[in-house]
Amino acid sequence: MSAPTLPPGAVLAPAPANGTPKGARTARVAVLGASGYAGQEFVRLSLTHPGVTLTALVSREFAGRSAAGLLPGLDARAVKLPDPIAPEALAALWAAGGFDTLVSALPHGALAELLAEQPALASAELRVLDLSQDHRAGEAGYVYGLPEAFRAQLAGATHVANPGCYPTAAALALLPAAEAGWLAGPVTISALSGISGAGRAPALRTSFVELDGGAAIYRAGESHAHVPEMARTLARLTGAAPEVAFVPQMAPMARGIVLTASVALAEPVAPDDAHALYEQRYAGEWFVRVLAPGEWPETRAVRASNRCDVAVTTVHGGRTLIATAALDNLVKGAAGQAMQNLNLMLGWPESWGLPVHGNPW
């Protein structure tokens, strides 16, 4: 992929070979929920980031054990990480100056409980990135962390709510058309997701025997928790609150999302004009690739990368938009986007520490 031109506010640069530039700040990070899929992915990305120092891995299940036991892919000969601690130890560590950034990969609702139990962590001086849905509506002053849409608000922010994986794919699939004022009707979104999106806790419906060889629709309609988030994002882009219907599906793969959104257009648009709009809007975005006409996204092309692939066309005489996207739900849909947000929060080059290339095999 050729290097993109820069949009307003974007700063793209490779990570320097010899650490951060002179005078640059570093982030001393505690990862809450470090034993989960998203938490482990954030740790993996941090190991090659020039400005991030991991000072605490927090996991009630693994507290008191070794970092190597928590992270089976870690080669302890190459890197030294702190052994996991219990969540109850965080407030004391914060008081002792042990970290300045808290990345929470806890299940929905768990961070709020922790902050209620340890009010010292609610300090305005603590930088917080929340990967749960708890603050995505802007509660407690959190900024919604979708860089491609809200980059200016993220620069210098101290509290950021990471978007959900499905809403990220949906927003990036529809963003150019929404900003252009093209959307004129209810939005219907259908998506297939890898099982890691359901979290690491064992459950019958996500077990190998239940899922291998098939795919399953769940919570179709307007009841999924991500529907309000999708509608809020589109409302911010269009100035109106569109109706959103969502059909999420589980597929027998570990990671990845492939999504299709369809919506009526205010005026007919030719397929080539739709593609041209998307090419122009995403020309400066390092982590969004617009595929050529006739090419369509696939999960394996973006696996283990922070990139989202999108493709678009129109049908029904140009009256209906079909916008598609694929991303890795653990990277651009979770930990990678959190790292991208952290880069913006600290004024670092936005691409630092983040893979743009996929690993299809």
CATH code for the domain in which residue 103 is found? 3.40.50.720
pLDDT the model gives residue 23: 45
49 and 129 housed in the same domain: yes
182 and 315 housed in the same domain: yes
Q: Which of 128, 165, 171, 288 is catalytic?
A: 165
Domain span at 47: 27-134
Please give the tally of structural domains in the chain.
2
Tokens of 120: 């010292």
Could you give the 3-state DSSP secondary structure of residue 26? coil
Could you give the 3-state DSSP secondary structure of residue 77? coil
- The residues, any chain, with a CB within 8 Å of residue 64's CB and separated by 6 or more, are 83, 84, 86
Whether the Cβ atoms of residue 105 and residue 34 lie closer than 8 Å to each other? yes
pLDDT the model gives residue 214: 85
218 and 74 housed in the same domain: no
130 and 170 housed in the same domain: no
Whether the Cβ atoms of residue 275 and residue 290 lie closer than 8 Å to each other? yes
230 and 290 housed in the same domain: yes
Tell whether 145 is covered by a domain. Answer: no
Of 78, 110, 134, the domain-final residue? 134
Active site residue 308: no
219: left (phi over 0), alpha (psi -120 to 50) or beta: left
- DSSP state for residue 52 in the 8-state scheme: E
Please tell me the number of Cα atoms within 13 Å of 256 on its side-chain side. 19
186 and 309 housed in the same domain: yes
Tell whether 236 is covered by a domain. Answer: yes
182 and 301 housed in the same domain: yes
Tell whether 6 is covered by a domain. Answer: no
Whether the Cβ atoms of residue 259 and residue 298 lie closer than 8 Å to each other? no
211 and 89 housed in the same domain: no
188 and 324 housed in the same domain: yes
49 and 182 housed in the same domain: no
Q: Going residue by residue through the chain (361 aa), what tens digit of pLDDT does each one get?
A: 333 444 433 444 444 444 454 445 789 999 999 999 999 999 999 999 999 999 999 999 999 899 988 998 888 888 889 999 999 999 999 999 999 999 999 998 999 899 999 999 999 899 999 999 999 999 999 999 999 999 999 999 999 999 999 999 999 999 999 999 999 989 999 999 998 777 777 777 778 778 788 888 888 888 788 899 999 999 999 988 889 999 999 999 999 999 999 999 999 999 999 999 999 999 999 999 999 999 999 999 999 999 999 999 999 999 999 999 999 999 999 999 999 999 999 999 999 999 999 999 9
Could you give the 3-state DSSP secondary structure of residue 230? helix
pLDDT the model gives residue 168: 98
262 and 316 housed in the same domain: yes
> In this structure, what CATH number is given to the domain that contains residue 236?
3.30.360.10
Nearest to 262 by CA among 225, 194, 221, 312: 312
CA distance 219 to 224: 6
Tell whether 255 is covered by a domain. Answer: yes
Tell whether 290 is covered by a domain. Answer: yes
Tell whether 49 is covered by a domain. Answer: yes
Tell whether 9 is covered by a domain. Answer: no
Distance of CA 299 to the CA centre of its chain: 15
195 and 318 housed in the same domain: yes
CA distance 172 to 79: 35
> The whole model's pTM is what?
0.92
Tell whether 22 is covered by a domain. Answer: no
